[in-house]
Chain A
Amino acid sequence: MTSRQYIDVHIIQTVPPANLNRDDQGNPKEAHFGGTRRSRVSSQAWKRATRLHFTERISPQDLGTRTKRIAGKLAERIGDIAQVDTATASRLTGALLTPLGITAGRKEGDTAYLFFYGRRQLDAVAALVGDRAAELAALDDEKLAAEIKQLPVRDTFRTGHPIDVALFGRMVADIPALNVDAAVQVAHALSTHTTELEFDYYTAVDDENEKEETGAGMIGTIGFNSATLYRYATIGMHQLVDNLSDEKSAADAVVQFLTSFARSMPTGYQNSFAHHTLPRLVAVTVRTDQPVNLVSAFEEPVTPATETRAGIAPASIQRLAREQLTAVRAWGNAPAFTAHCHTLAPEHGETVGVLEEAFGAPRSFDVLLTDVRTHLTGGEA
């Protein structure tokens, strides 16, 4: 693997009338771009939806299978620091991890934390015994356990990174040692076209009030708009490897992020609008030079009239693909890997052609995830 890799994710997603992310007036968030008003969903809102999607999907068993690898990693580090043989390092590791077994499940949900250790925690824990490895290894099991009890193992591990901390970072102002630099950068989602804020005027009928003609029991309005959004995020693979301490875990985390980022949806006014859509396009590029945000494709707003009569989403997809081709041509560096998954109909043949030119052959989302993982772990996709 090269030292630096960025995984760019470009998503085009159409959302029907909805209010995903509202401001303090209760209206959908907006921004001006290219001189016109756009619908906006803040990066924070979609990151939260992504986190919630993680908690629905990632089972504790999945995370549990990682304990052995962590033990092996820790043993490796102790071996390196203390220059002891593998058996001794494993024994010390076992002694260190035993007390954690008791505390891990005390509070539900905390277990998930403990299986995603960061490199710094492993280094710190290894350092706890590293200096005294020979002395500790000479003790019998009981005395060893007693000695280990004196060490702040638990406190050191309390800083363990779960997947979302590794991806989204963490800041504890008072203890910089607990800070984790986010590996993911998420841009605010913007509509590819001009939007107008609309209001749904509604009345609610009082079911029990049948005799009097009082009209509505209450009235109100909900602000909404509908939009085809461009969503962009980039993952610094090298940072993620740093946060999670090994490449395979990092590749897994990338797949988890791509899945949850693509499939999640902010829940604002969900029951009023049922805006559960899936992306029309997910395009992934892996670059070794720099992340490339393609939002400039939409600086000039997409209008149905000026584009092919295909509709806003296919027109946006075509613009995005052309922008990618332009960017590659103008700045020289072709991505190391591209893949995409789309839901365009056969009549959008021209757009499909441009898409393939820009992002390679189309594939299903599952295959896309597999191919990304294969590429990241050094295989041929």
Chain B
Amino acid sequence: MATTPPRAEAVLLLRLAGPLQAWGDRSTFNRRETRPTPTKSGVIGLLAAAAGRARQDPVDDLSHLGLGIRVDQPGSLLRDYHTVSDYRGTPLPQAGVSAKGIQKPTSPAKHTHVTTRYYLQDAVFLAAVAGPGELLDGLQHAVRNPAFPLALGRRSCPPTQPLCLGIRDTDTETALRETPWQVSRQARERYAARWRREHGAARSAVPATVPCPVTLDDPEGPDVLNDVPLSFDPLRRSFADRRVRHDWFSVPTGFPGRPGSGTPDSPEDATGHDPFALLGW
């Protein structure tokens, strides 16, 4: 393109991958769950942390950003048994505090507290954050130079690189359709092997596309998620609803050396809606 068009709506692409992730929405107290896909509050929390915002700082500008999530590798659920105790061997404090702000020890003394934490293991997601180009430019710089260490929904889940895949001057749907599949070489080869097995194809005929489930912001969408952060302030934490729609996109597998990969070339690829694919069947 000869001239640079004015920065309008654009899409920031984030690859959310790491051994463990946790995207809780309503979890409180002793059972910390995770949704099967990243939440809007989780993604916006990551961006806000990158930009150096404290929990009390407003996030209005960020919660207005659009979000599309693509499931490149669904991963599986991990249940983690987790105990809490004081390393000095003193009894755990009570939940409440006195007027002076002091937590008294539990009576009778309680030394160990059990919680259950759920994680997603071995998952890879592509998040497309849509909004004004200037804002996204700033966020991209922040993700590459974060103020706080970034995490995939929970502090103990640092992301692997590359986290930031750059900004595309397009809409969420196009970005999610055109970005190549974000899985490891191994997973790609496993997919090709299964495809060959099932289709009896010649060794060279590797699939050009793979069907991936997506969740997109859509005011007409049939599903409602309560994960739009209004405030991360610990005392005024609150979330709003958003409407979403679920869909399947054919995504380029990005096999190297395959001419024209990115365009579906077989009927299976083009219509490839296989609900059992998620289960690895």
Contact = CB atoms under 8 A, between A and B. Distances in A.
Interface of A: 4, 6, 22-24, 29, 31-35, 38, 42-44, 48, 51-52, 55, 109, 155, 158, 172-176, 178-179, 181-182, 185-188, 190, 232, 234, 236, 238-239, 289-296, 299-300, 327, 330-331
Contacts of A238: 147
Contact of B96 (A23, A44, A158, A174): A174
The majority secondary structure among interface residues of chain B is loop
Nearest to A44: B82
Given A292-B161, A293-B160, A109 B88 contact: yes
B234 A51 contact: no
B129 to A, nearest CB: 18
Contacts of A295: 18-19, 160
Interface centre among B122, B148, B151, B158 (most CB of A within 10 A): B158
B281 interface: no
Contact of A155 (B100, B148, B150, B190): B100
Interface string B85-106: 0011000000111001111000
Contact of A176 (B18, B76, B82, B234): B234
B226 interface: no
Given A34-B184, A293-B18, A6 B161 contact: no
Contact of B145 (A4, A43, A185, A300): A4
Contacts of A290: 143-146, 150
B3 interface: no
Interface residues of B, number: 47
Contacts of B122: 31-35
B162 interface: yes
Interface in B193-216: none
A174 B97 contact: yes
B147 A4 contact: yes
B78 interface: yes
A182 B149 CA distance: 10
Interface in B28-54: none
Contacts of A23: 80-81
Contacts of A296: 17, 160-161, 184
Contact of A51 (B87, B148, B151): B87
A291 B158 contact: yes
B155 A185 contact: yes
9 contacts: A23-B80, A31-B20, A35-B187, A181-B148, A187-B19, A290-B143, A300-B185, A300-B186, A327-B161
Contacts of A175: 97, 101
A31 B121 contact: yes
Contacts of B88: 55, 109
B87 A48 contact: yes
Contact of B149 (A109, A172, A185): A185
Interface string B208-251: 00000000000000000000000001110000000000000000
Given A31-B119, A35-B186, A55-B87, 16 more contacts: A4-B145, A29-B80, A29-B81, A31-B20, A31-B122, A32-B122, A51-B87, A176-B235, A185-B149, A236-B148, A292-B161, A293-B18, A293-B158, A300-B185, A331-B161, A331-B162
B184 A300 contact: yes
A234 B150 CA distance: 10
A42 B156 contact: yes
B158 A234 contact: yes
A186 B151 CA distance: 10
Given A35-B122, A185-B149, A155 B101 contact: yes
Contact of A232 (B87, B95, B158): B158
A185 B151 contact: yes
Contacts, number: 120
A300 B157 CA distance: 19
B264 interface: no
A290 B190 CA distance: 32
A52 B87 contact: yes
A187 B158 contact: yes
Interface in B4-26: 17-20
A330 B122 CA distance: 23
Contacts of B184: 34, 296, 299-300
Contacts of B18: 293, 295
Contacts of B87: 48, 51-52, 55
Contact of A239 (B119, B148, B234): B148
Interface centre among B19, B97, B155, B184 (most CB of A within 10 A): B19
B144 A289 contact: yes
B180 interface: no
Contacts of A190: 19
Contacts of A239: 148
Nearest to B234: A176
Nearest to B76: A32
Interface in B140-198: 143-151, 155-162, 184-187, 190
A234 B18 CA distance: 15
B97 A172 contact: yes
Nearest to B119: A31
A48 B20 CA distance: 20
B78 A31 contact: yes
Contacts of A29: 80-81
Nearest to B186: A300
Contacts of B157: 187-188
Contacts of A186: 156
Given A4-B147, A42-B80, A187 B156 contact: yes
B111 to A, nearest CB: 13
A43 B143 CA distance: 23
A6 B19 contact: no
